[in-house]
């Protein structure tokens, strides 16, 4: 593997959700450790699944991985990091300042941007030379999906610039002293990221046009901030011999080869490795050890045994949604499970019935336009653009609060609004506007991958608590966005997953997080099911059999209602193919 030749100290794995970043990062960490290196594997994903892959509890501490001498792992826990951050800031003034003042500071530090910057502090601490990491030869970062990762890697420079130019004594994070102490650490982190001798970025992709286009954008954005040492891995390629035995496999193989022939020029210039699709789930040390080495395809055993499925279709779910006449439909889940495609499919099926539908996305790496590839009567499409929303928010605040300020006061306000986490507030406001629309029509929202969505819901919850604190004492009536999300008559949350061990576990974890916030998911959707596509290829049939156990777990343990969407021969791009996803029957393969 080219990306493993003369590896530097820091290796970052990034890419669109669902392309196999975690599996490849874990397999890389094992390979380095078995070569005699001391390795720390770090997940920066707020919805980390490293623990599920290794089958052990990890959490926010350096933990040795059983059965893999020399390998430790760490999952940066945003909530634990945020609490530690709050304690660092509030602890010194507790007991010295009035309780009301301390409570006000804590309230300032309760939002999503505090959670983000606190986790970011832990991330940058791993990039600087310290006793914390001195014993490790390599630190392997399994990052969150693309949009979140780009923001994470841009933050060292953004916060350094903000602190260098800032003149205020507070931001949305509370006292700036909490950030200013980290100035030197951020500077050293910037140097480490830009040093090709110390840092290598590995872009992980699937052989899909949309995925490769997004990876090309990521390559450009990260190269622009100085991360130039980049490699490419094309993961999960169907072997050519499988295409000779099955029309479905042949269509998938040709689709992948066409995407590779159209590889963007900037990616074609990068050192590239190709990793074959495996018939087994990538969970456990034995499976991970096989990922980066060549293995034979499965034999033709058990080819004639039927694969039985009994489940609703996506169309059945849409029938029940349409009966309400209006409402918010939110697609949530891990990156790469097909939320964008499913959101578009639900929206076009509702619009086909003559219902007014607004399809929107909060995903920083959104590609709704590419998925729809056309228009439809009764359907409008939008995107919550973080940059546009931040600029709108800045203008509104300057108009409302800056009009009566003198030049010095206005300059101070403008400086405060240049804080990188102003974006979190702006995106939340846009999210709130979208929710209000669902009172009169259908709004279908394609959310960002799990971790980013949880941060958005954290902001929604913080806003609700602040409104409740101010208005409950007055006995005033109010409705917050969080209350609308908690009302099943107004909001239906659809959890998207794949019939694989890790995505199902992650969807179950997301469901638990939502329930703690008082939001009950309405249904699960198992997307891209190989079993429901009736394959004949031995490799695909083995993957189909692996799916049955996961589908049974969803039915028995996790979901009150669920639907299965089959893997299609053609990519579901365009209105007509999206309507195919709402098929009425799930057949026996």
Residue 120: pLDDT band with limits 50, 70, 90:
low
DSSP reduced 3-state for 576: helix
Choosing from 14, 23, 218, 361, which is the catalytic residue? Answer: 23
Give the CA radius of gyration of the chain. Answer: 24
Residue 350 tokens read as 């509702």
**Distances 461 to 285, 439, 456, 458 between C-alpha atoms, Å:** 39, 20, 9, 5
pLDDT for 297 beyond 60: no
Is 21 a known active-site residue? Answer: yes
Give per-residue pLDDT as tens, 327-341.
999 998 887 788 889
Q: Please tell me the predicted confidence (pLDDT) of residue 399.
A: 85
Q: Please tell me the predicted confidence (pLDDT) of residue 5.
A: 92
Choosing from 14, 15, 17, 22, which is the catalytic residue? Answer: 22
Closest CA to 253 of 244, 264, 262: 244
Does 542 fall in a domain?
yes
Does 308 fall in a domain?
no
Looking at the structure, do residues 190 and 74 belong to the same domain, yes or no? yes
Question: Which of residues 40 and 182 earns the better pLDDT score?
Answer: 40
Q: What is the CATH number of the domain that holds 252?
A: 3.40.50.300
Among the residue ranges 27-41, 79-93, 295-309, 359-373, the one predicted with the least confidence is 295-309
Is 199 a known active-site residue? Answer: no
Range of the domain at 17: 7-290
Looking at the structure, do residues 83 and 197 belong to the same domain, yes or no? yes
pLDDT for 251 beyond 90: yes
Does 392 fall in a domain?
no
Is 23 a known active-site residue? Answer: yes
Among the residue ranges 62-76, 163-177, 309-323, the one predicted with the least confidence is 163-177
Residue 589: pLDDT band with limits 50, 70, 90:
very low
Give per-residue pLDDT as tens, 338-358.
888 999 999 999 999 999 999
Q: Please tell me the predicted confidence (pLDDT) of residue 304.
A: 53
Question: Which of residues 92 and 19 earns the better pLDDT score?
Answer: 19
Choosing from 21, 334, 339, 492, which is the catalytic residue? Answer: 21
Average pLDDT of the residues in 146-171: 50
Question: Which of residues 493 and 374 earns the better pLDDT score?
Answer: 493
Q: Please tell me the predicted confidence (pLDDT) of residue 175.
A: 40
Choosing from 15, 17, 18, 147, which is the catalytic residue? Answer: 18
Residue 167: pLDDT band with limits 50, 70, 90:
very low
Looking at the structure, do residues 279 and 323 belong to the same domain, yes or no? no
Does 396 fall in a domain?
no
Q: Structural domain tally of the chain?
A: 2
Choosing from 17, 20, 111, 333, which is the catalytic residue? Answer: 20
Looking at the structure, do residues 322 and 272 belong to the same domain, yes or no? no
Does 128 fall in a domain?
yes
Q: Please tell me the predicted confidence (pLDDT) of residue 155.
A: 53
Average pLDDT of the residues in 140-149: 66
Looking at the structure, do residues 325 and 280 belong to the same domain, yes or no? no
Closest CA to 127 of 30, 32, 11, 7: 11
Last residue of a domain, one of 257, 290, 323: 290
Question: Which of residues 484 and 289 earns the better pLDDT score?
Answer: 289
Looking at the structure, do residues 360 and 224 belong to the same domain, yes or no? no
Looking at the structure, do residues 208 and 95 belong to the same domain, yes or no? yes
Does 109 fall in a domain?
yes
Q: Please tell me the predicted confidence (pLDDT) of residue 262.
A: 93
Q: Please tell me the predicted confidence (pLDDT) of residue 584.
A: 47
Looking at the structure, do residues 465 and 345 belong to the same domain, yes or no? yes
Last residue of a domain, one of 255, 275, 290: 290
Looking at the structure, do residues 236 and 325 belong to the same domain, yes or no? no
Looking at the structure, do residues 196 and 96 belong to the same domain, yes or no? yes
Residue 371: pLDDT band with limits 50, 70, 90:
confident
Does 586 fall in a domain?
no
Looking at the structure, do residues 283 and 375 belong to the same domain, yes or no? no
DSSP reduced 3-state for 276: strand
The contacts of residue 451 (CB under 8 Å, 6+ apart) are 45, 46, 47, 78, 144, 145, 148
Give per-residue pLDDT as tens, 12-21.
898 877 788 8
Average pLDDT of the residues in 382-410: 81
Is 497 a known active-site residue? Answer: no
Choosing from 312, 460, 502, 529, which is the catalytic residue? Answer: 502
Looking at the structure, do residues 281 and 374 belong to the same domain, yes or no? no
Is 22 a known active-site residue? Answer: yes
pLDDT for 505 beyond 60: yes
Is 18 a known active-site residue? Answer: yes
Q: Please tell me the predicted confidence (pLDDT) of residue 257.
A: 95
- Asked if residue 133 lies in contact with residue 139, where contact means CB atoms within 8 angstroms, the answer is yes
Question: Which of residues 88 and 569 earns the better pLDDT score?
Answer: 569
Does 249 fall in a domain?
yes
């Amino acid at each position: 593997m080219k990306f493993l030749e003369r590896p530097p100290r820091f290796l970052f794995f990034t890419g669109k959700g669902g392309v196999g970043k975690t599996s490849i990062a874990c397999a890389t960490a094992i390979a380095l450790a078995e070569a005699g290196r001391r390795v720390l594997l770090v997940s920066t994903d707020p919805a980390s699944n490293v623990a599920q892959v290794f089958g052990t509890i990890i959490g926010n501490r350096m933990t040795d991985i059983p059965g893999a001498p020399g390998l430790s792992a760490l999952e940066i826990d945003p909530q634990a990091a945020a609490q530690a951050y709050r304690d660092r800031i509030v602890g010194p003034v507790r007991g010295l300042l009035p309780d009301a003042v301390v409570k006000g500071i804590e309230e300032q530090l309760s939002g999503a941007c505090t959670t983000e910057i606190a986790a970011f502090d832990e991330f940058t601490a791993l990039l600087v030379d310290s006793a914390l990491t001195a014993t490790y030869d390599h630190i392997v970062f399994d990052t969150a999906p693309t949009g979140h990762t780009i923001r994470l890697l841009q933050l060292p420079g953004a916060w350094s610039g903000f602190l260098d130019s800032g003149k205020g004594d507070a931001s949305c994070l509370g006292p700036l002293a909490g950030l200013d102490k980290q100035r030197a650490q951020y500077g050293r982190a910037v140097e480490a990221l830009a040093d090709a001798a110390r840092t290598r970025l590995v872009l992980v992709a699937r052989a899909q046009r949309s995925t490769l286009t997004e990876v090309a954008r990521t390559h450009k954005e990260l190269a622009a901030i100085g991360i130039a040492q980049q490699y490419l891995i094309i993961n999960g390629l169907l072997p050519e011999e499988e295409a000779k035995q099955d029309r479905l496999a042949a269509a998938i193989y040709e689709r992948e080869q066409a995407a590779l022939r159209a590889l963007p020029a900037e990616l074609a210039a990068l050192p590239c490795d190709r990793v074959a699709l495996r018939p087994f789930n990538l969970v456990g040390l034995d499976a991970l050890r096989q990922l980066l080495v060549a293995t034979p395809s499965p034999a033709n055993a058990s080819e004639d045994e039927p694969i039985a499925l009994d489940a609703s279709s996506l169309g059945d779910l849409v029938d029940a949604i349409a009966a309400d006449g209006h409402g918010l439909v939110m697609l949530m889940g891990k990156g790469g499970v097909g939320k964008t495609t499913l959101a578009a499919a639900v929206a076009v099926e509702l619009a086909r019935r003559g219902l007014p539908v607004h399809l929107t996305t909060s995903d920083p790496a959104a590609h709704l336009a590419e998925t729809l590839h056309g228009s439809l009567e009764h359907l409008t499409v939008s995107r919550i653009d973080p940059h546009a929303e931040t600029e709108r928010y800045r203008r509104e605040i300057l108009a409302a609060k800056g009009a009566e300020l003198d030049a010095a006061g206005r300059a101070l306000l403008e400086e405060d609004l240049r804080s990188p986490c102003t974006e979190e507030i702006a995106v939340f406001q846009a999210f709130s506007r979208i929710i209000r629309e669902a009172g009169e029509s259908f709004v279908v929202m394609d959310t960002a991958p799990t971790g980013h969505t949880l941060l958005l819901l954290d902001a929604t919850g913080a806003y609700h608590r602040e409104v409740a604190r101010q208005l409950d004492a007055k006995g005033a009536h109010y409705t917050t966005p969080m209350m609308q999300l908690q009302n099943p008559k107004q909001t239906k949350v659809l959890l998207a997953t794949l019939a694989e061990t890790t995505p199902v576990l992650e969807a179950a974890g997301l469901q638990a997080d939502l329930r703690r916030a008082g939001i009950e998911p309405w249904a699960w959707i198992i997307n891209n099911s190989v079993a429901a596509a009736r394959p004949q290829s031995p490799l695909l049939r083995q993957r189909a059999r692996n799916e049955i156990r996961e589908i049974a777990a969803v039915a028995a343990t996790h979901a009150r209602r669920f639907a299965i969407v089959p893997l299609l021969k053609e990519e579901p791009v365009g209105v007509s193919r999206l309507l195919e996803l709402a098929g009425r029957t799930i057949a026996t393969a």
